[in-house]
Amino acid sequence: MARKKKEENINTNPLADNVHIQGAGTVKDEHIIETLKSNYMPYAMSVILSRAIPEIDGFKPSHRKLLYTMYLMNLLQGKTIKSANIVGRTMQLNPHGDASIYETMIRLSRGNESLLYPYVESKGNFGKAYSRNMMYAASRYTEAKLAPISKELFEDINKDTVDFVDNYDNTMKEPTLLPVTFPSILANVTTGIAVGMASSIASFNLGELCDTTIALIKNPDHDVSETLLAPDFVGGGYIIYDKAELDKIYSTGRGSVKVRAKYKYDKSYNCIDITEIPPTTTSEAIIDKIVELVKSNKVKELSDIRDETDLKGLRITLDLKRGTDPDALMTKLYKLTPLEDVFSCNFNVLIKGTPKVLGVKEILNEWIEFRVECVRRKTQFTLDRKAQRLHLLEGLKKILLDIDKAIKIIRETEAEAEVVPNLMIGFGIDKVQAEYVAEIKLRHLNREYILKRTNDIENLKKDIEALDAILQSKNKQKKIIIKELNDVSEKYSGDRKSEILYEFEEFDASAAAEIPDYPVTLFITKEGYLNKIRTANLRMSGEQKVKEGDSVEKVFECSNKDEILAFTDKAQVYKAKVDDFADSKASQLGTFVASKLEMESNEKVIFICVVREYKGYMIFAFENGKVAKVDIGAYQTKTNRKKLINAYSSKCPLSCIEYIEEDCELVLCSTNGRMLILNTGALSPKTTKDTIGVSVMTQKKNCRLESMHFYKEGEFEKAWRFRTKNLPAAGALPGPADNTDQITF
């Protein structure tokens, strides 16, 4: 596949030829693969290698540049300084703008509470990771310095432990990695999205991490799950222990960890205080979700919810209704809200410039290899320095044999350039030693000074011998690493913040709290409002309030546990529990049913019935005189479906709907004035909701079945006239003695 590029030379001014782009106006064939390689791949590799994916020292380049700048500013000691000052200095290494640098500092700070072991001590408002609304102050207002644990990031950095490269303008050097003395890659949460790949590394307790690393150094076959219990997050909470999932993370680097919020119940105020939440959510997201559940009537045990977060820390308060079981409610909220969330692990790390997804054991082995190399380079650097020092002191020792001779050689040498060669000849020393002797101050040309210096020779020889032994033995190098890990663990590790739950209760929807059973009265108006009033309170209520122009159409006496079926003009039925509607008062309008059941905007409720047990039949009368008898069980569902389509046949306009618990007599009325008494027992029940029914009342031309109502004894003087043995039938016209004026539809 090839892409053609054509650039037309539209310039007509010959004087402008000198500004033409070279090759303009030519047609060039270029393969799309080559275009991707030359244009897109460099960008993708830059994002992967220089921005989003952390390296074995646990840092992305932006983190490393900031921390190293703070180290050069001597911020390991002393007081905090303005963040704006640090940000400005960091731009010598990171030219991508002050905003991104400051945001990097925010995340590394103790005040933001993003990291389990923060590297920056903060002063001022650095925002909170657990809140999207608590924003940080501008860099000109806040102050910062390096935290004590940051000392472990730069240990022996000036002893050639890591490589240095030029910064972007070649004015200073910066480290490619930091010689961290503990596995910082697994000590703090690190996330990043690159091109075509991402990284999400969980944090672990430093004590457990150091113990596991030491165990791996001593025994490469060590099972990391024995010492590394589970991830540990700065926000605390509960870790849901799942051995199979943890083993998967430890071995492959992929998997997920369930984290639950931690709470305590205050009996005196009958409220729940949530103080620790999962690291993947915020307090606002939790509150929004709980409010949504309360509004949808899925959570009814709460009377109020408040965010009481202050300087002491996070706190979300849930006020409970009387009689609510706090533990049962929280089990339910764990299932329905982000109070229980999943931290997805994808341990993608840059190893020697190559992104690799590694398990915990593999990452620790890579870190051990990296740290062994750091120790080797430091040892070699120290050995070289001591060897140079020994070499100089051995030359100085020869001067001790005859100080006067050295002075005489220097004094009698006419040219300054000849001093060093003459000393070399006079004492049998090399040029470096002679230069050292020649630079000694006159005040130091005494036996006491020279003896003190030469006394160090034996100590240097012992040190060099010990350092050489370390270089020759990997075991000794590993012993140094073990000692460093023990020191770090002793200084900085603490108790776990995330408690491990080995036994826990899962929310079971089928075993959800029982809906309270008490008698209620439902008032349904013509315009579709439903008002639910406890029957016990009905006597104390006044007249039912309705909107102007509206009136109460139906009244149901039922239980709070019953279900409501609302049929609409779109041949659909919406289901709800009576309990879904809040208890109200006669002085209130009630709930608009169409809105509560989330009906379509142009949909209208035409019939509502209340069902306790799905026994009985739905009777649908159509304008063409047909009547359908549908078993009410056809509307029963095992799941909590709110909407059923094809609730009745839409092939003919619907005239009327009735719900009957058992067979009875109904009166059908036609527009031509005829009436027919129908015994529903004469109709065979169907289980198909949208059945077209059977012909019951024949209609003359331009006539239609208009209405249907329950037959009342005494309604007709001669009821036999309106009954028929065979269906369909035309019915009869009522006489003057028939009580048709009292019919209510």
- Could you give the residue numbers annotated as active site? 141
Residue tagged 């331009």 (tokens) = 702
How far apart (Å, rounded) are the C-alpha atoms in residues 332 and 311?
A: 29
In the numeric block, which tokens belong to residue 74? Answer: 């001597």
Calculated CA dihedral for residues 470, 471, 477, 480, nearest 10 degrees: 50
Residue tagged 């990291």 (tokens) = 115
Provide the 3-class DSSP secondary structure of residue 393: helix
Nearest to 539 by CA among 590, 589, 586: 586
How far apart (Å, rounded) are the C-alpha atoms in residues 727 and 674?
A: 15
Ranges assigned E (strand) in 423-517: 499-501
Q: How does DSSP classify residue 577? A: E
Nearest to 634 by CA among 614, 658, 611: 614
Contact (Cβ atoms closer than 8 angstroms) between residue 86 and residue 105: yes
User: Which sign, positive or negative, has the C-alpha torsion 95, 98, 103, 106?
Assistant: positive
In the numeric block, which tokens belong to residue 356? Answer: 């690799």
Nearest to 190 by CA among 201, 180, 177: 201
Going from the C-alpha of 142 to that of each of 92, 289, 304, 311, 561, the distances in angstroms are: 21, 33, 36, 17, 58
User: Which sign, positive or negative, has the C-alpha torsion 322, 326, 331, 335?
Assistant: positive
Contact (Cβ atoms closer than 8 angstroms) between residue 667 and residue 711: yes
How far apart (Å, rounded) are the C-alpha atoms in residues 724 and 729?
A: 7
Phi–psi pair at 515, nearest 5 degrees: -70, 130
Contact (Cβ atoms closer than 8 angstroms) between residue 350 and residue 321: no
In the numeric block, which tokens belong to residue 494? Answer: 């603490």
Calculated CA dihedral for residues 645, 651, 652, 655, nearest 10 degrees: -10
How far apart (Å, rounded) are the C-alpha atoms in residues 588 and 545?
A: 6
Please report, in angstroms and rounded to a whole number, the separation of the first and last CA atoms in the chain.
74
Pure H helices in 51-193: 61-72, 83-90, 98-108
User: Which sign, positive or negative, has the C-alpha torsion 8, 10, 16, 17?
Assistant: positive
Single-letter amino acid code for the residue at 120: V
In the numeric block, which tokens belong to residue 469? Answer: 């032994």
Contact (Cβ atoms closer than 8 angstroms) between residue 231 and residue 188: no
Buried b (16+ CB within 10 A) or exposed e, 77-97: eeebbbbbebbebbebbbeee
How far apart (Å, rounded) are the C-alpha atoms in residues 656 and 644?
A: 19
Helix 360-400, helix 206-218: angle, nearest 10: 70
How far apart (Å, rounded) are the C-alpha atoms in residues 565 and 532?
A: 15
How far apart (Å, rounded) are the C-alpha atoms in residues 144 and 700?
A: 92
Provide the 3-class DSSP secondary structure of residue 533: strand
Cis-peptide into 516, omega within 30 deg: no
How far apart (Å, rounded) are the C-alpha atoms in residues 60 and 341?
A: 26
Cis-peptide into 519, omega within 30 deg: no
